[in-house]
Amino acid sequence: MATLSTPEGERAAMEAFQRDVIEPSMSSLVILDFYADWCGPCKQVAPVLEKVAADYADKGVKLVKIDVDKNPAVAAQFRVQSIPQIYALYQGQPVADLTQARTEPQFRQFLDQILPQLGIGAESEEDQAAAQMQEQKDLAAQHAAAGEHIEALKIYQLLLQQAPKDEVVLGGAAVSLIALGDETQAGTLIANIPDDSTTAEVVQARKALQLAENAVDPAELEALAAKVEANADDHAARIAYGEALAGAGRGEEAAAQYLESIRRDREHDEGAARRKLLELFEASGVGAPWVMGARRKLSSMLFS
């Protein structure tokens, strides 16, 4: 909100009007409130106008208050004969007389009608497209976090057609491909991303691809499980079992093995189980529903 102060002479007043009203009106809707300090009705409508203008500021509305006693030249230009007198200006021209409006709903109704007509505050086609893409990215990430990687991958594949170099999309698609057992295609996508990328989805995909390399055949997985069952304190076997589970996409089960190893002996092999667990967190992403619980358990063990 701007208020025109007493300028030295008519020329200064018009220069201030040009700066504070005309120039902003080239891209915003400027509401002119002609008032005086002695005017009772002006004092009644002022807080209503100020609240509405503040609420609509991010939609391209600006309020300018003009004291008619201090700016008679401006008041004369608009032929103000009584106050309050309220006009709406756009691109230097009056587009509406709001003098009869007194309540917040009346001002809001006017703004809700005229802003779309003038195209003020409207998103550009580029902004709309970017917002739609972000919505689709968020939806794909939600599917992936819920373990619904087929649904996530379908969305990522559509997004790749629109933005084939988008690192969030490439990384997200790679993560879902790995979860679905297609490490080859995931590796192809990751190869298109700069090595120094720090995008969270890319970091997760690369770590997930590394863990997938630890996958073993079912017979070996069963053998590792048997070794752990036979000797609960065989930490090397338990950690190897955790790696194999992680490689098979069974992250929550892998985390349970690492946590059990930490519970029994957190210092084994210089904290190997903890390192493996942190790598698993990185590969699983913050959205995986089990990660938060596993992190809490880890903190409880380390700081108890």
pLDDT score recorded for residue 24: 87
Is the per-residue pLDDT at 121 higher than 70? Answer: no
* Three-state SS at 132: helix
pLDDT score recorded for residue 6: 46
pLDDT bin (cut points 50, 70, 90) of residue 124 is low
pLDDT score recorded for residue 7: 46
Look at the alpha carbons of 126, 129, 130, 131 in this order and tell me if their dihedral is positive or negative.
positive
Does 42 qualify as catalytic in the annotation? yes
The mean pLDDT of the chain is: 89
Summarised one tens digit per residue, pLDDT across range 239-284 is: 999 999 999 889 999 999 999 999 999 888 888 999 999 999 989 8
pLDDT score recorded for residue 101: 86
Residues 6+ apart with CB under 8 A from 165: 192
State the catalytic residue, choosing from 29, 32, 42, 74. 42
Token pair listed for 11: 């020329």
Q: Which of 112, 59, 66, 117 is nearest to 87 (CA)?
A: 66
Domains, the chain: 7-118 (3.40.30.10), 125-197 (1.25.40), 218-303 (1.25.40.10)
State the catalytic residue, choosing from 13, 39, 168, 288. 39
CA-CA distances (angstroms) from residue 81 to 66, 77, 99?
Answer: 14, 11, 12
- CA dist 268 and 187 (Å) reads 33
- For residue 183, count other CB atoms closer than 10 A to its CB: 18
Q: Reduce the secondary structure of 31-45 to three states and give it as a string.
A: EEEEECCCCHHHHHH
pLDDT score recorded for residue 269: 86
pLDDT score recorded for residue 194: 94
In the beta sheet, which residues pair with residue 96? 88
- CA dist 286 and 31 (Å) reads 47
Summarised one tens digit per residue, pLDDT across range 13-51 is: 778 888 888 998 888 899 999 999 999 999 999 999 999
Is the per-residue pLDDT at 120 higher than 80? Answer: no
pLDDT score recorded for residue 9: 62
Mean pLDDT of 122-133: 75
Does 303 qualify as catalytic in the annotation? no
pLDDT score recorded for residue 123: 56
